[in-house]
Structures are given as C-alpha cells and as structure tokens.
Amino acid sequence: MPDQNVKELTTDDAPIKARGLEGVIALESELSSIDGQEGKLIYRGYDINDLAEGASFEEVVYLLSNGELPTRDQLDDLRQQLRSERTLPTPVMEFLRNIPDDAHPMAVLQTVVSALGLYDDEANAMDEASNRRKAVRILAQIPAIIAAFDRLRKGLEPIPPLEDGSMAHNFLYMLNGEEPGEAAERTFDVCLVLHADHGLNASTFTNRVIGSTMSDMYSAIPGAVGALKGPLHGGANREVMRMLLEIDEQGADPAKYVREKLAAGERVMGFGHRVYRTMDPRAAILRDMVQELSEKEGAMKWYEYSMAILETMRDEKGIDPNVDFFSASTYYQLGIDPDLFTPIFALSRTAGWTAHLFEQWADNRLIRPRAEYVGKRDRTFVPIDQR
Ligand code: COA
C-alpha cells in the first residue's frame, strides 16, 4: 500500500512525488527495521532491547555486516582485526596537529576520514575482500581521529591506542588518558550498540547514494558524516546538551523554557522523528541509563530537566523524544564534551554505513530520483551585452 503522503505526479512522466522522500521505499534492506507505530527497532531480526542488554558493539558490527551473530572465534577474530588497525597513519596524525583548535569536530572527522583514503593502498579497490578490510580499518581509526583531535585542541598529546580492550574501552582511554571503569565502558558500549543502524535515515541514504555510483568507501563515509552533522539529524544531540546547559545556567524552569521556545516557533531538539509516532525505543533505553548514572553519581539535575522537558513536549505538542534526547545527558555524564556527541554517533553509525555499502554493492542500481521542474520555460536567450 503506498503511503498516503505519496501523491501521483501527472507531469514529466515521474510516477510519484513525495516531499523529503517521505514514505518512499527506495530500496530493499535486510539490515534494520523500524516499526514507527509500535516503537520497535530490529537489527537483522534481533530486537534492539535484547542487543542493548546482551551484545557488545563489536558483536553488532559483525551482525550488521555478516547477517548473523558471531561465534566466540569469529568475534575474537574481528576484535583482533579492529585492534590491529587502530593506529592512524603518521601523515594523518601530522595533519591533525595542524587543524585549527576551533574547527567543527564533524568537519574534522569528515576531512580526516577522507584523508585516510590517501594513505590506503586499497582505497580504490572495489573487490569484496578489500572493501571488508577497509570497513574494519575506517571503523577502527575513527575513535583515534576523534580522541586525537580533542586532545590536541586542549593542548594535550594524543594517546596511542591500547593493544587490547574493546572499542569502547580504548576510545575512552584515548580520550581521557585513563582507563575507564567497567560501568562507564558498559554505558558507552550500549550507546554504540544503539546508534549502529537505523533504516534508511538521511546519512545512510547519502552513503548508499554515493556507493550506488560505484564510488569508494572513502568517498561514501565522509559524505555520510556530512549528512549526519546537520542539526535535524545527528547534530541534534549536541543541541540538546546546549539547551540543558542553558537551562542550568539561567536557572530556568525547564517546562517554561520549552513553552517559550515553542511559542517562538522554534523546534526543541531531540524530539520528533520522521518514522516514529511513539517513543523511540533507543530513547527509552537511554532514559533508564541516564537515571541510573545520575543516581549513582548523586547528581539528578540533567535527568530531572530532561524529564520535565519530555512531559512538556508531550503535553504541548504530543511529540516524543528520539535517540538524541537522552544520549546527550548520558555522554555528558561520562565527561564527554558536547561537540563530540555527534562524532561519537558517527563512530557507531559507521558500522551501519559500511554494512549498507556491502548490501548496496551486492545488488547495485544507481540511485537517481527525479525533481519536478517548477521553473520558467520557453525564455528567449539575450546575449550578455544586451542584458
Ligand atoms: N519541536 C517542535 N515541533 C516539532 C518538532 C520538534 N522537535 N519536530 C516536529 N515538530 C512539529 C513540526 O513543527 C510540524 O508541526 P506543524 O505540522 O504544526 O508545522 C510537525 O511536528 C511535523 O514536523 P516535520 O518537520 O514535518 O516532520 P519531519 O518528519 O520532516 O521531521 C525531524 C522530523 C526529526 C526533522 C523533526 O522532528 C525535528 O526537526 N526534530 C528536531 C531535531 C532532532 O531531534 N533530530 C534528530 C532526529 S533523530
């Protein structure tokens, strides 16, 4: 059944027209599926709640790209491959040292992932084995890019990666210079699991569009990073924290603050979704994690502000939170700077992006929609010296 938002287009031979491609099925995927009415999300058939509870991020990486959960040996093998690729090429590290401290971290990530391709002999190889190695390499190196940039801009030396430990453990170590506690590592790992894939969202679509031209992974992933940067997509988590900090600084009443924002016609970041018509299941998992973290630390204010905003948005607009809403206070309570929240989203989503590229290339067709031309026609050309 076509979505009711999809209207018949009678001109220009195009079969359908949908603003923002809403409701359009652009391709088939076996990777993840969202039930927007029920608030359910599955990766490869597994419920996100079960994965968040029982799987590590590396297991999810394997699941997404191979279709099955790994055996212990398969997981050890993937972990070993990821560890062996953690170190950035020397010229890339030198490049990072010359980046302005006030650069947007997503712009840095986009540029540096692209630069990684310049030092990869397999950058343009399109056979499956090379692409699988590149997927591991890019995923393994993104944490090093984010951590090195953050330390350099703070006047600190980048920390070389550990030779063991999970991606979550190693990232927090490279960022903070000390090994994380078990609880922080587990919380961060769950965040990575929750962000790994999410249907044909804007950045995944961007990634598949680039892949569909048979361009390479070092072109598709930076393109996806660029799409994720926007505040209507992954950039929302940073904006959520900005709002919570502003409420705190002003000593504002969160409910009043949100009502004023809505009255001014502004959007409240971290709310609303193109597909969900109820609470995003990832937001529910993160809400419980924030509550637990806050209780453990005896600092409830971020949780309390968040819940007050949530109630107000439900009362005023009937809109529920999305994944970005509670991930903001989760990362903040792990001591992570707000402008790194979106790069961390990208870190995790790289698992989905690369898996989507394999799926795209396994049965490729160029993604090339149409625009309805609504401009002028039949104009008479006037030479430049007569205009
Ligand atoms: N705050 C206030 N109002 C919102 C809102 C928000 N966060 N999200 C949606 N709405 C309102 C819109 O104003 C619109 O109301 P109207 O019909 O009275 O004009 C209605 O809900 C539908 O919004 P629309 O922008 O058409 O939906 P969409 O499917 O294009 O947008 C988002 C989806 C995610 C872009 C949108 O919800 C949004 O901007 N959210 C904030 C950014 C964010 O958190 N992004 C992360 C997504 S995971």
Least reliable range by pLDDT among 8-17, 102-111, 136-145, 377-386: 8-17
Task: Name residue 251's amino acid.
Answer: G
Span 331-379, pLDDT tens digits = 999 999 999 999 999 999 999 999 999 999 999 999 999 888 899 999 9
Provide the pLDDT for residue 288. 95
Q: Whose CA is nearest to atom 37 of ligand 1?
A: 272
**Site to substitute for ligand 1 among 267, 310, 319, 322, most atoms within 8 A of C-beta:** 267
CA of 186 to the centre of ligand 1 (A): 31
Which long-range contacts link 76-83 to residues 24+ away (Cβ below 8 Å)? 78/136, 79/166, 81/136, 81/140, 82/58, 82/136, 82/139, 82/140, 82/167, 83/140, 83/161, 83/163, 83/164, 83/170
Q: Whose CA is nearest to atom 10 of ligand 1?
A: 272
Give the residues surrounding ligand 1 with Cβ less than 6 Å away.
20, 232-233, 236, 267-274, 317, 319, 322-324
Provide the pLDDT for residue 16. 77
pTM of the model: 0.93
Contact 205, 230 (CB under 8 A): no
DSSP 347-381: HHHHHHHHHHHHHHHHT-----------S--SPPP
Provide the pLDDT for residue 195. 97
* Residue 11 confidence (pLDDT) above 80: no
CA of 329 to the centre of ligand 1 (A): 21
* Residue 3 confidence (pLDDT) above 60: no
Which residue numbers are catalytic? Answer: 233, 273, 324
Nearest Cα neighbor of 324 from 387, 367, 270, 275 is: 270
Provide the pLDDT for residue 73. 98
Strand partners, 7: 17
Task: Name residue 322's amino acid.
Answer: N
Span 252-270, pLDDT tens digits = 999 999 999 999 999 999 9
* Residue 12 confidence (pLDDT) above 90: no
Provide the pLDDT for residue 15. 67
Average pLDDT over residues 139-166: 97
Q: Whose CA is nearest to atom 13 of ligand 1?
A: 267
* Residue 2 confidence (pLDDT) above 90: no
